[in-house]
Amino acid sequence: MKGVILTGFLFATATVAAPTVAAAIDPPVIVADLQRDATEKLELSDRQRRESLLQDVKRRQDESLLQRQMHQLEQLRQQAERDAARAEKLQRLKENS
């Protein structure tokens, strides 16, 4: 019987105390918490946007670097072809003289 009474008392205390705790929290505290949460979400969004922009810039720089390297490689290939043609022409002139 004591257990039933104790259980009933604890249940009643928990039921009565819950609204008291909720009422003890000031509305400005709740508003401040909501504002803090909103600010954190905006900061996270800004951070993600900055990271995305940085990734885009890095990707563009990498593409630009690759294009420059491909252009330089093409110039070197053309120079090698010209040098090979000159060497072949000199070899023929040497053989003919």
Q: Where are the domains of the chain?
A: 26-96
CA–CA dist 47, 22 (Å, integer): 34
Residue 38's pLDDT is what? 78
What tokens does 93 get? 């002139």
| Dist CA 54 CA 46 (whole Å) | 12
How confident is the prediction along the chain (97 residues), in pLDDT tens digits per residue?
Answer: 555 554 655 555 555 544 555 555 556 667 677 778 878 887 878 888 889 999 999 999 999 999 999 999 999 999 999 999 999 999 999 998 7
